[in-house]
Amino acid sequence: MTQLQEEITSLPQGIDSDISVFGEIPAPTHILRILLARAIVGRPELLIFDGMIHDMQPTIRDAILRRICSRDESWTVLFVSTDPNLTPYVDRRIVLEDSGTSVPLLPS
């Protein structure tokens, strides 16, 4: 789901490999995907994304979004974002204006 399988299997000891500050530093996108994996492993009811998804490579990001936002998943996903590219992945979009009022842009 987090598109880490290939990277993990390429490590010398796979999932049991140590990641150390004295060794190779993981790329920021790897760190984001590890954080995402940690967040979803417990099957939460709510996932909140506040900007982290924007820093991923587009192909990886789209694959992750398709899986996370799948109707087969039982959780609710909430994006706090200004990115209109997330619109295809959501059922409902709410825009907060400067005055703090909300205006639904997509039907619920």
Q: Which domains does the chain have, with CATH numbers?
A: 5-104 (3.40.50.300)
* Burial of 67 from C-beta contacts in 10 A (0-12 / 13-18 / 19+): middle
Cα-only R_g, the chain? 16
Task: Quote the longest CA-to-CA distance of the chain.
Answer: 54
pLDDT for position 106 = 60
pLDDT for position 45 = 95
pLDDT digits (tens), the chain, 108 positions: 666 777 777 767 776 767 665 566 677 777 788 888 888 888 999 999 887 788 788 888 899 899 999 999 999 999 988 888 899 999 888 887 766 555 565 655
